[in-house]
Amino acid sequence: MRLPICTFMLFFSFVTSYAQTNIPLEEAVKHVADSVTVCGKVSGARFLETAKNTPTFLNLGPAFPNNALTIVIWSDVRKQFETAPEVLFKDKEVCVTGRIELYKDKPQIVLRRREDLKVK
């Protein structure tokens, strides 16, 4: 059985859209709008339970405000963790996969799925 070329191209584009580039933490700011995997030590973690959408922030690299990257975990994704992320990942080496965006000129990745954040 022969598959139409459009089926092959659709499959190929789906597979490549999930391919991630591993980058050093220090280069996160150079990869804005890219989907990447970045690893680093969580230097600080904070849960803002009274803020809108109750965000959790995990800072990678040097301590805030000099951190190299912030991982943002909104309440809908936070619910996927059995242990609070600010406890689970504090002072650990982690790897996060996602799209880098800027917030107030600082790089961040908004975590979309629990599986995209792992202890190294």
Report how far residue 52's alpha carbon sits from residue 110's, in angstroms, rounded to the nearest whole number: 15
Residue from 99, 18, 109, 19 nearest 61 by CA: 109
6 assigned to some structural domain: no
Q: Are 58 and 89 in contact (CB under 8 A)?
A: yes
Taking 90 as the threshold, does the pLDDT of residue 63 lie above it?
A: yes
pLDDT band at 2 (very low <50, low <70, confident <90, very high): low
Task: Tell me what pLDDT residue 4 has.
Answer: 56
Residue from 20, 8, 32 nearest 100 by CA: 32
Which domain CATH number covers 43?
A: 2.40.50.140
15 assigned to some structural domain: no
Task: Tell me what pLDDT residue 20 has.
Answer: 72
pLDDT digits 0-9 by tens, 84-119: 999 999 999 999 999 999 999 999 999 999 999 999
Structural domain span for residue 74: 20-119
Q: Are 88 and 80 in contact (CB under 8 A)?
A: no
8-17, 23-32, 74-83, 86-95, range with the lowest pLDDT = 8-17
DSSP state of 43: E
Token digits of residue 11:
């499959």
Residue whose entry in the numeric block shows the structure tokens 């904070």:
46
Q: What is the pTM of this model?
A: 0.84
H or E element that contains 63 = none
Token digits of residue 16:
């490549």
2 assigned to some structural domain: no
99 assigned to some structural domain: yes
1 assigned to some structural domain: no
Taking 80 as the threshold, does the pLDDT of residue 9 lie above it?
A: no
Q: How many domains does the chain have?
A: 1
